[in-house]
Amino acid sequence: MKIENFKLYEKGCLKGFCNLNINGLVIRNCQVFFKHDNYWLGFPSECKTDGTEKKYYPYIKFENEDRRNDFTKAINPILRKAHMDSASAQSQPPHSSQCSEELPF
């Protein structure tokens, strides 16, 4: 797995956007989040508004929680490095603030 084209965008838990390359399969426009010293990846999703409430429906999801947890453990150090490298390249230290906002998943 490789993180490609990381774009730093820090807002709350959101730390940026990237492409995920898994053996040549590229998933574009993934979100990178950080909270409680852990990184995780949000897959591209569709936003729908139900009255005043926004709901997000991911295009890709894991069939069970164990697979999702295994993926998160594997991707965490890769996302950390990509985030740090991007922040260093842009001469901005990455924020390690803890997020208290609700996430869309």
Q: 55-84 pLDDT, tens per residue?
A: 989 999 999 999 999 999 999 999 999 999
* Average pLDDT value for residue range 85-90: 84
* Contact in structure between 41 and 58 (CB atoms under 8 Å): no
Convert 86-96 to b/e letters by CB count within 10 Å (16 or more is b).
bbeeeeeebee
Q: What is the pLDDT of residue 36?
A: 92
Question: Is the confidence at residue 101, as pLDDT, over 50?
Answer: no
Alpha helix segments (H runs only) across 1-102:
65-89
- Beta-carbon contacts of residue 13 (< 8 Å; ≥ 6 apart): 33, 34, 35, 99, 101, 103
Average pLDDT along the chain: 87
Task: Give the pLDDT band of residue 91 (cuts 50, 70, 90).
Answer: low
Cα–Cα distance measured from residue 3 to residue 22, given in angstroms and rounded to the nearest whole number: 9
Q: By percentage, how much of the chain surpasses pLDDT 90?
A: 77
* Average pLDDT value for residue range 10-38: 95
* Average pLDDT value for residue range 23-42: 95
Smallest CA-to-CA distance from 35 within 78, 93, 76, 92 is with: 76
